[in-house]
Amino acid sequence: DEACVLIRNHPEKNYKNLDVAGIDSYDLDETTTSKSLGAMVVLRRDHQMKDKEDMTPVCLVYNRPKRKEMFYDMCLKVAVYYNLLGNVLVDVDKPLVIEYFKAHGGKRYLAPRPRSFESDSSEQMHEFGVKLTTFSKPKMIGILQTYVLDHGHKIWFKQVINDLINYDVKQKTSDWDSADALGIALMRHIDMKRPATDDNAKSAEDPYELPRYVEVDGKLVMIKQNKNLSDIKDPFIRMIHEGRFG
């Protein structure tokens, strides 16, 4: 079977840190001991856009193609498509997908180790990915449960819903890959501690820009460099913005 990619919402090109992803991968092409398919979930975080969904899975990769590299390649393409720079968190116990990203120019998409999910006595040294330990996995399950209570109605992929319904929190390893991938994405969302930012909003008004003043009828009038000319009613002030006067 070819890799299955489902999309709910496409990228918002001008935003940074809007989407994060979790990958629950595998290192073997075939196995007789597991029904694991492997999954990648792209989660759209909180944002300020009007009338658009937030805290919802927007993309799901969920299938086991003939070769594991096909799954890795699909995950990398999704990371590029959604501009997930530094925001793809991977279960480090299946490291081959991390090596694939590195070998194919995708290192910059990998998320760093989430330190906020480690115990004080942790001796972990890896750079990328998360290790689901007896300390971190219960924390992941906790935030996953909270997410379902608060945002479960925003999950549109039936595969994720089915995995969440069948999830056994007492089982150390599971075949409910999309649920684990969603949990890993939530770990990145929480550990990042940075909001989504709109590049257009940042460029529209420079906080370091010094105001300019002109004299009109004996009064000083402040003008802004980035003001939209169509909003300026006074023709004299408009000419100043156009550079026709110093």
Q: In whole angstroms, give the CA distance from residue 237 to residue 222.
A: 10
Percent of the chain with pLDDT over 70: 74
Q: By mean pLDDT, which of 7-11, 109-113, 118-122 is the weakest?
A: 118-122
Q: In whole angstroms, give the CA distance from residue 216 to residue 51.
A: 42
Strand partners, 84: none
pLDDT at 233 exceeding the cut of 70:
no
Helix (H) or strand (E) holding 101: helix 96-103
Interior CA angle at 58 toward 105 and 195, to 5°?
Answer: 75
pLDDT tens digit string along 144-179? 999 999 999 999 999 999 999 999 766 655 578 999
Q: In whole angstroms, give the CA distance from residue 146 to residue 151.
A: 8
Cβ distance 69 to 59 under 8 Å? Answer: no
pLDDT at 211 exceeding the cut of 90:
no
Considering only CA atoms, which of 56, 59, 51 is closest in space to residue 11? 59
pTM over 0.85: no
